[in-house]
Structures are given as structure tokens and as C-alpha cells.
Chain A
């Protein structure tokens, strides 16, 4: 039995196609996923992300506990700032990618993927035991609504007095939106400007309706997980379970920059990661653009002259490029003459720099 977010009735009333995702019943799309994708690129989209995990660390040693538990240097994070980071196992394998918000000197919020939220909460509880901090999984008490797209700031500004113009990328501040308490964060997973609003679960539906009404003149559309996936793929952002897994280190994924060896104290995975940090990985993560119209998809082999040289991790038709795109792990040093084996036929692809899409700032 799937869990439901506080917005399930709203999604059903909008005629959403619902799907099971990581044990949650979530909106896949409301109508045309291409139209939802384009709305986010050109105007704005409204997403229910209440399936994400919110785990709080509070207390005098919350910062030290996170420095030990995660690969990032969280004690150096200023109040009100957010950081993209990862939690790894002793072998350096990625257990999840996370966004950590510092809400105060002694208060942090760790946002985990729905599929990993329970595991992350358990690991953080275990790893924080020796520190004077309290770890609390509040995922059930919070809803998360994202407004993403070039018109997001104008839309949100109609509902809040918060200084949105002064709120920089990867910062968050407490405020009120439509009269409701919210943590307003300038973060997202679409490659566009936008905001993520953490609110009490009982405020989710009224806030959704307020945002829908406020966004209507700006072209805001409700957007489901299908468009969220194509948006993040165009933006070259990794998805846990596709580009990231416990079998890969942050260095394997080309994200070694998130590992901070120069922070104080030891951290879980340090020795394993130090051993691999200067070793060129066997494969690297690249972008692929198909020359034809058939779509490379997750798990398809990447080939060169008939030999397998890699594997597709994510693929989809790109609305913005008008061609199929994919991310893939490909053997280091191999970058020309590649094809993807699409159900038995070798379809030519070109290697491109990630991301596929970068917004004009």
C-alpha cells in the first residue's frame, strides 16, 4: 500500500495520472508532460515533493555530527545557507545525495530522497550517537511544494513579504506565504530559478490552491514527476538509483568536489575516498545526444564497433533540444564513434558536455 502526500485529493481532483514512486502515490503528470516541461522552462510549474525526507539535527554538536556523518563541511555553513552533499558508506559508496540547510547555530535540516529517507534517518541517528545532538525524522509532518521557472519569483512575491530578491541560490529563510509559516528556500531540481516551500502538512492544500491562483496569470501549471525527470536530465542533474548508487563513489560520478578532506575530524568513508581520489575512474559520466529519433533509456548498453563500452543511466526525448538525450557511464578515453544498443539496433550518438541545458541568468 503506497503512502499518500497531503495533496493526494488535490491531484485526483486535477485528474492526475498517479504512480507509485519509492513507496509513495505521486502525480506522474496532470495532462501533457511535454506541456508541463515547457511551462517550467518558459513560465512556471508547481510540484508536490512531499515524499522527500526531512531529517532534523538539533543541539550543540549538530554541526560536528554532520561533519562526521556526511562528506561535506557542514560546520562551515553559514546560517540560512544550503549545501548539496552526500552520505557514503565505509567503502565510499553513495547512500544518498542530500541538501542540508543550516537553520540556526544548532539546527540543521537534511533533505533526503524519498527512496532513501528511512535509511538516511537511521544512518544519521547511528552516526550522531557520540555527539550532543538530537536526530529527528520529521518527514511525516512536512509537506514540500516547489515553484520552479522564470516566473517563480513574481508568482511567490504576490503571496509573501519575504525578501525574495535578496534570497540567493542555495539559501533559505523562514517566512510566511499566504499567511502560513514556511521555510522558503531558493533551491530546485529543474535547471530553472525557483523556490521550495517546506510547510506543515495541514497547510499544503491551501497553499497549493493559493499558488495555483497566484500563478494563473503567469502561465503556471501543476507539473508531475515525469516532467521533473526530463527537466533534471536536461540540466545534467544526477538521480539516485540512476547516476548514483552504493556501488559508485562521488568521484566515479564526477562529483568528487563535494568531498571535503580538509574539514576537521574523521568522517565515514574518508579512508576509502582518499584512496580513490586521484585514481582516474574506469568510466566517466557523459552526456549523449542521439542522431536519430529512438530514445536511449536506463540500462541500455553503449557500444563502439559492436563492443560494449558503457551503459545509459537516464534517457528521454528532450523538449528543449528536440532530440533524445541521455546520461551514461562510458569507458574513460572513449568518446567518438559511439552508439546505443536500442533493443538490438545500434543507434549513433554524440558525446556532449553536461549539462544539456543551461538557463540564461
Chain B
């Protein structure tokens, strides 16, 4: 059973989102379930700081030994920060997906699309694992 923190929101594409409730800067990463499914992450491509992205866009990609997966943003707005530490050490996506493995931060310009609670995401992934 993957680790699914209660205080985060989730997407069907296996991203997590935090911070929407305080100040509209959302932090986005991939879930432990996604990282486990990918295997060892070897390369992460993130959106550019200052770029404007729309909810539902593919804004980056995560490559592992066996596969590649796109990163979809559930939140639109301006990218205000990306995790350069993760770019330099992609294995953080496996070892600490909800902490040091965070991916990018967005100043949200609207309501996010179809987020799931931890409980809903747990139900989704228990059907896929």
C-alpha cells in the first residue's frame, strides 16, 4: 500500500497538490504510487519559471529505466519556482515524493480541475495496483 498523506489533494494522473488553501501558491509533485510504478526515476523535465500554464496541460516529463510519463498540471497560472535539486538528483522522486521530490510551484489563477481527496485517491489506486 502506497503512502498517501491526508493533507494533500490528488489527480487521476497521479500528481499531488498542496498549498491551494493558503495564498494560492500550489506545489505539485508525483505520488508515491506513481514513483513506485515508474521505478527508478532518472530524468525529470519541469516547466520554465515565469511561464504560464493551463490546468490539464502536459508541462513536463518523468523518465525511469523502463518508461516515461508526462506531468500534467491540475492548476493553471504562472510557474513561480521549480525544484532544481530534483532535476540534479531525480532519485528524490522515489525516495521522498511528497517532500524533497516536489516538482514545481504555481501561482494559481483559477480553481483546479477535479482534485481527489486522499481517501478518493486511495480508492483509485487500490483498483490499479
B87 nearest in chain A by CB position: A293
Task: Find out whether the CB atom of B39 lies under 8 angstroms from the CB atom of A317.
Answer: no
Q: Is B24 an interface residue (CB 8 A)?
A: no
A residues within 8 A CB of B68?
Answer: 295, 297, 343
For A32, what are the chain B residues with a Cβ–Cβ distance below 8 Å?
39-40, 94
B65 touches A (CB below 8 Å): yes
Q: What chain B residues lie within 8 Å of A317 (beta carbons)? A: 42-43, 63, 65
Question: Is B45 part of the contact surface with A, judged by Cβ < 8 Å?
Answer: yes
Q: Smallest distance from the beta carbon of A293 to chain B beta carbons, Å?
A: 5
A-B contact count (CB 8 A): 40
Q: How far does the Cβ of A225 sit from chain B's closest Cβ, in whole Å?
A: 9
Q: Mark A4-38, 1 if CB is under 8 A from B, else 0.
A: 00000000000001000000000011001110000
Q: Which of A17, A29, A295, A297 has the most CB of B within 10 A?
A: A295
Q: Which of A292-311 contact B (CB under 8 A)?
A: 293-295, 297
In residues 152-192 of chain A, which contact B (Cβ within 8 Å)? none
A64, CB-defined interface residue at 8 Å: no
Which residue of B36, B40, B63 contacts A34 across the interface (Cβ within 8 Å)? B40
Cross-chain contact of A226 among B45, B61, B66 (Cβ < 8 A): B66
Interface pair B42/A33, CB less than 8 Å apart: no
- Which residues of chain B from 32 to 69 have any CB-CB distance to chain A below 8 Å in the complex? 36, 39-40, 42-43, 45, 61, 63, 65-66, 68
A316 within 8 A of B: yes
| Chain A residue at minimum C-beta to C-beta distance from B44 | A293
Q: Are A293 and B43 in contact (CB under 8 A)?
A: yes
Tell me if A61 is interfacial: C-beta within 8 Å of chain B. Answer: no
The residues of A that contact B43 with a CB separation of less than 8 Å are: 293-295, 317
Would you list the 5 A-B pairs with minimal beta carbon distance, nearest first?
Answer: A317-B42, A34-B40, A293-B43, A33-B65, A295-B63
Q: Which residues of A contact B (CB under 8 A)?
A: 17, 28-29, 32-34, 226, 229-230, 293-295, 297, 316-317, 343
Can you spell out 5 A-B residue pairs with CB atoms less than 8 angstroms apart? A33-B65, A229-B66, A294-B43, A316-B66, A343-B68
